[in-house]
Amino acid sequence: MRALFIIDPLDSLKPYKDTSLDLMAEAQGRGYDVAFCEYTDIHAGSEGVLGTVQLIEFVKDIHTAMTMTPDLYRLEGPEIEDLSDFDVIFIRKDPPFDQAYLSLTLLLEPLEGDVLFVNSPSGVRAISEKLSALRFPDFIPETLVSYEPEVLRAFAGDHDKVVLKPCYYGSGKGVVVSSADDPDFETHVNNILQLEPFGPVIAQGFLPEVADGDARVMMLDGDFVGAVGRKPPEGDFRANIAVGGTEFHVDLTPRQEEIAAEIGDYLRQNGILYAGLDFIGDKLIEINVTSPTLIKELRKVGGPDVSAMIWDLLEEMA
């Protein structure tokens, strides 16, 4: 089997925690050819969808390395290849979901049906990680999405505190806690509105349960396969590992299980093989489909090896 990973720059990845590298190492361990490129390496036209790709072979154990130093791997290429010659393509570019990301999904979409995708280009485009949860109003905290500071302030007036966040970023970027009587409320809103890519501000009622951590629920082909908790660092309300959150074992509540089952159908319908649902308490916060992470953190707390499960599934589907 030949696998292509569309990732951020190789030297920006952190091997000790990176999910893309974990999936690549699992593929290599199964004897598969592994290649990678960045989104700017994709070309499409009358001759099909091509990519300037490099083969990669890990020559040392990457699982505990802090950075991607050249002694860890051997590269071959780059070469321009027809991407339909790959058996599976992983779209693993991190947010923001901007015009470049949108273009990537459109360039790759002609390959759907010929190549296995994790995840489907059309599905990644259809499911906005933060906005798609609005399709399930009974599952989410009280929420308002708007460009208007005064409309957002009026919503905030119904809550002791609100979380304000941009639509198209990940890893906790731009997320703040505020309140209607906060003198910096409008400044917070305007700071988010100035981010690129431009989009409205999401305001949600603050959930105090976040002090105990949130839960990343991993879904494979629409089914729940594992969950890992994340505890916010001292002095922060964000539990993202990228801002210093720490992983811990967590069991799903009955309500989380119910929500995950219904979201699973939605994911399956959109060709999303691997996703991460974020919960605070029993409230759904995000549906992560671009580059879901925390596979290594799940293993650390005694959970299943989701990298192996993903490749088992792909072998069945190939």
What's the pLDDT tens digit per position in 79-119?
999 999 999 999 999 999 999 999 999 999 999 999 999 99
What's the pLDDT tens digit per position in 183-213?
999 999 999 999 999 999 999 999 999 989 9
Q: What is the mean pLDDT of residues 12-28?
A: 97
Among 147, 184, 179, 187, which residue's Cα sits nearest to residue 163?
A: 179
Q: What is the mean pLDDT of residues 167-192?
A: 94
DSSP-derived secondary structure for 302-313? T---HHHHHHHH
Question: Quick one: pLDDT at residue 237?
Answer: 73
Q: Which residues contact 103 (CB under 8 A, 6 or more apart)?
A: none
* Beta partners for residue 227, in sequence order: 217
pLDDT band at residue 236 using 50, 70 and 90 as cut-offs: confident
CA atoms within 13 A on the CB side of 79: 10
pLDDT band at residue 282 using 50, 70 and 90 as cut-offs: very high
Q: Quick check: pTM over 0.85?
A: yes
Q: Is the pLDDT of residue 137 over 80?
A: yes
Question: What are 314's two structure tokens?
Answer: 């792909």
Structural domain 142-206, CATH architecture: 2-Layer Sandwich (3.30)
Q: What is the mean pLDDT of the chain?
A: 95
List the Cα angle 99/17/130 in 5-degree steps: 35
Q: Which of the 8 DSSP states describes residue 115?
A: B
Question: Quick one: pLDDT at residue 155?
Answer: 98
Output the CATH code of domain 2-126: 3.40.50.20
Q: Is the pLDDT of residue 240 over 90?
A: no
DSSP-derived secondary structure for 215-271? EEEEEETTEEEEEEEEEPPTT-S---GGGT-EEEE----HHHHHHHHHHHHHHHHTT
Contact at 8 Å (CB) between 280 and 209?
yes
Question: Quick one: pLDDT at residue 239?
Answer: 67
Third-level CATH fold of 209-304: D-amino Acid Aminotransferase; Chain A, domain 1 (3.30.470)
Contact at 8 Å (CB) between 8 and 287?
no
For the chain, the structural domain boundaries read: 2-126, 142-206, 209-304
Q: Which residues contact 107 (CB under 8 A, 6 or more apart)?
A: 42, 44, 49
Question: Quick one: pLDDT at residue 10?
Answer: 97
Residue that is written with structure tokens 């839960």 in the block: 215
Q: What percent of the chain has pLDDT over 90?
A: 92
